[in-house]
Amino acid sequence: MHETPTGIRTQLAVDVVGIEGPVHTDEIISRIRDAWGAKRAGSRIQEAVE
């Protein structure tokens, strides 16, 4: 997921905030991680989302 183009990650984050906002960054990371089917969000995923 961390190698996904920034534009796609950005749109996913915008979608999460649009539906659930206001929302903490940790929750955005969790939602995107779930969308990718990842069991955890390591530092590379967290940095990519932030």
pLDDT of 2 above 80: no
Nearest one of 6, 43, 46, 8 to 26, comparing CA atoms:
46
Ranges of each domain in the chain: 6-49
**Mean predicted confidence (pLDDT) in 18-37:** 89
CB 46 within 8 A of CB 30: no
Instruction: Name the pLDDT band for 18 (thresholds 50, 70, 90).
Output: very high
